[in-house]
């Protein structure tokens, strides 16, 4: 019973509303028809204004980025080379130090005493040399030889005088025999004196040589003692930045082997190590060798870890002699000025090098490129000012521009502003052409 009542009410409202619905649809259709007619009858406005840029061929350098790492040109480990107690540290950790700046001091007392001992030994050796060079002994030996020679001459004379007297029986034979015996004694004394002279000369020569050797040994001992004493004052061998102190004052250092105290690294310039593939190396070297000899040093850029471009430019400092067979690359070292010590050893970065140049390249501004479903296109204004859509193939992104690989030709006018007002097949009013892209804008490659 209730269901029948609801059905009746629904049929009643339907009968009343249906005519109103038909009337409303008829009115809407009439309004749309009138609007279309008015739009068709309205006069067409002027073509929309757009800004175009004419593509001009130019020579463009194509930079490439290479993973790199900063390396100090010189890194020196400051070590204690002698044993002793560290008594002084005179630098600030992490700050700049100058060459020959005193960094540490080791207790010098022992080494000062060793130096005095060495000097005393040297003085004794010099005194021994003076004594050995004294010719008193050799002069005595020479006098003894002369005395023996004189005794022999007298003995010879006595024999010569007595021989005729003995024949004449003026003197007894016994006197002649005594004179001959004395002659032989004098001869023996002379030989002995000559031998003693030679022995004295030889002994003096040996003493002199021994004294000279002792002097050289003494000088070496003094030099070593002075060197050891100098090692108690530890200086920086280079200009650079020093790291943390490895050993505190008061500790014994240098026992048995050198003790590392700190590390100093040069900062300016900073060396940047990276590697080139064989293909990149050949392109790079051909470009380098083909250029003017005065401009052979190709400038390099450096992209830091935060994506910023390092303000200083670098140059190639060294190219390894051969290919690394393990990585199939050629190691290269670049040198970058680092006056503010912004770069520190061990940082990761990217070296940017213009390894290739393209002749007659076309660059299209990034703002002119539209992308839909992965395809890239631009709007081009023809000679009749009618817009046409072009699908293009792009290469590297160079600054605010893209390198065009396909789809555009030199002289094409690309819409760079006002694309939303332009329609393919419709005319536009080109405004003053924007300045074309220049090679200078292509200094920084980015993602495509």
Q: Is 256 exposed, middle or buried (0-12, 13-18, 19+ CB in 10 A)?
A: exposed
Which CATH number covers residue 68? 2.40.30.170
Within this chain, do residues 201 and 284 fall inside the same structural domain, yes or no?
Answer: no
Within this chain, do residues 151 and 91 fall inside the same structural domain, yes or no?
Answer: no
Give the domain range for residue 320.
63-72+268-357
pLDDT tens-place string over residues 24-43? 544 454 554 454 455 444 45
Domain count, the chain: 4
**pTM of this prediction exceeds 0.85:** no
Strand segments (E) across 112-156: none
Within this chain, do residues 258 and 275 fall inside the same structural domain, yes or no?
Answer: no
pLDDT tens-place string over residues 120-165? 999 988 888 887 777 666 677 777 878 877 887 887 887 788 788 7
Contact 108, 253 (CB under 8 A): no
Within this chain, do residues 275 and 258 fall inside the same structural domain, yes or no?
Answer: no
Residue 276 lies in a domain: yes
Which CATH number covers residue 441? 2.40.420.20
Give the largest CA-CA distance in the chain: 208
Within this chain, do residues 307 and 370 fall inside the same structural domain, yes or no?
Answer: no
Residue 196 lies in a domain: yes
Confidence of residue 6 (pLDDT cuts 50, 70, 90): very low
Last residue of a domain, one of 357, 390, 412: 357
Last residue of a domain, one of 357, 386, 415: 357
Residue 12 lies in a domain: no
Residue 10 lies in a domain: no
pLDDT tens-place string over residues 346-400? 999 999 987 777 888 999 998 889 988 888 999 999 989 999 999 999 988 887 8
pLDDT tens-place string over residues 301-321? 999 999 999 999 999 999 999
Which CATH number covers residue 89? 2.40.50.100
Residue 26 lies in a domain: no
Distances (CA, A) of 40 to 26, 27, 197: 21, 20, 146
Within this chain, do residues 100 and 161 fall inside the same structural domain, yes or no?
Answer: no
In sign, the C-alpha dihedral spanning 126, 128, 134, 135 is negative
pLDDT tens-place string over residues 43-97? 557 889 999 998 999 888 778 889 999 999 999 999 999 999 999 999 999 999 9
Nearest Cα to Cα of residue 376 among 409, 400, 402: 402
Packing angle, helices 173-230 and 136-167, rounded to 10? 170
Packing angle, helices 109-132 and 173-230, rounded to 10? 160
Question: How far is Cα 369 from Cα 405, in angstroms, rounded to an integer?
Answer: 14
Within this chain, do residues 284 and 238 fall inside the same structural domain, yes or no?
Answer: no
Residue 345 lies in a domain: yes
Within this chain, do residues 119 and 213 fall inside the same structural domain, yes or no?
Answer: yes
pLDDT computed for residue 238 by the predictor: 94
Within this chain, do residues 208 and 278 fall inside the same structural domain, yes or no?
Answer: no
Contacts of 41 (CB under 8 A, 6+ apart): none
Confidence of residue 2 (pLDDT cuts 50, 70, 90): very low
Residue 274 lies in a domain: yes
Within this chain, do residues 153 and 214 fall inside the same structural domain, yes or no?
Answer: yes
Within this chain, do residues 161 and 253 fall inside the same structural domain, yes or no?
Answer: no
pLDDT computed for residue 136 by the predictor: 63
Within this chain, do residues 349 and 407 fall inside the same structural domain, yes or no?
Answer: no
Residue 32 lies in a domain: no
pLDDT computed for residue 36 by the predictor: 47
Last residue of a domain, one of 204, 230, 256: 230
């Amino acid at each position: 019973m209730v269901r029948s009542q609801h059905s009746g009410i629904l049929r009643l409202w339907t009968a009343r509303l249906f005519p109103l619905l038909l009337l409303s649809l008829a009115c809407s259709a009439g309004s749309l028809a009138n609007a279309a007619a008015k739009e068709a009858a309205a006069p067409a406005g002027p073509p929309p204004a757009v800004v175009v840029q004419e593509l001009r061929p130019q020579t463009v350098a194509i930079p490439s980025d290479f993973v790199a790492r900063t390396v100090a040109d010189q890194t020196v480990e400051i070590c204690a080379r002698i044993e002793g107690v560290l008594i002084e540290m005179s630098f600030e950790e992490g700050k700049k130090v100058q060459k020959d700046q005193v960094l540490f001091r080791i207790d010098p007392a022992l080494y000062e005493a060793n130096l005095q001992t060495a000097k005393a030994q040297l003085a004794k050796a010099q005194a021994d040399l003076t004594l050995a060079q004294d010719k008193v002994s050799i002069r005595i030996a020479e006098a003894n030889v002369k005395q023996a020679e004189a005794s022999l001459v007298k003995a010879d004379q006595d024999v010569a005088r007595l021989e005729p007297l003995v024949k004449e029986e003026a003197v007894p034979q016994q006197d002649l025999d005594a004179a001959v015996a004395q002659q032989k004694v004098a001869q023996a004394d002379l030989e002995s004196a000559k031998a003693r002279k030679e022995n004295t000369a030889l002994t003096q020569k040996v003493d002199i040589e021994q004294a000279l050797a002792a002097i050289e040994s003494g000088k070496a001992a003094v030099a070593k003692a002075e060197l050891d004493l100098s090692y108690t004052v530890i200086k920086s061998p280079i200009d650079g930045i020093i790291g943390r102190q490895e050993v505190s004052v008061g500790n014994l250092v240098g026992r048995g082997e050198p003790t590392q105290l700190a590390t100093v690294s040069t900062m300016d310039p900073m060396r940047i190590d990276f590697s080139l593939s064989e293909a990149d190396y050949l392109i790079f070297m051909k470009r380098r060798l083909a250029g003017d000899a005065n401009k052979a040093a190709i400038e390099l850029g450096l992209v830091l870890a935060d994506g910023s471009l390092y303000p200083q430019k670098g140059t190639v400092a060294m190219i390894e002699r051969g290919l690394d067979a393990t990585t199939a690359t050629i190691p290269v070292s670049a040198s970058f000025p680092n006056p503010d010590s912004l770069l520190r050893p061990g940082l990761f970065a990217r070296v940017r090098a213009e390894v290739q140049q393209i002749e007659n390249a076309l660059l299209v501004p990034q703002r002119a490129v539209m992308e839909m479903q992965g395809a890239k296109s631009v709007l081009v204004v023809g000679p009749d000012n009618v817009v046409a859509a072009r699908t293009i193939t792009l290469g590297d992104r160079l600054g605010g521009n893209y390198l065009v690989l396909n789809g555009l030709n030199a002289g094409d006018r690309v819409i760079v502003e006002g694309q939303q007002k332009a329609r393919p097949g419709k005319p536009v009013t080109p405004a003053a052409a924007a300045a074309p892209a220049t090679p200078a804008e292509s200094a920084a490659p980015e993602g495509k």
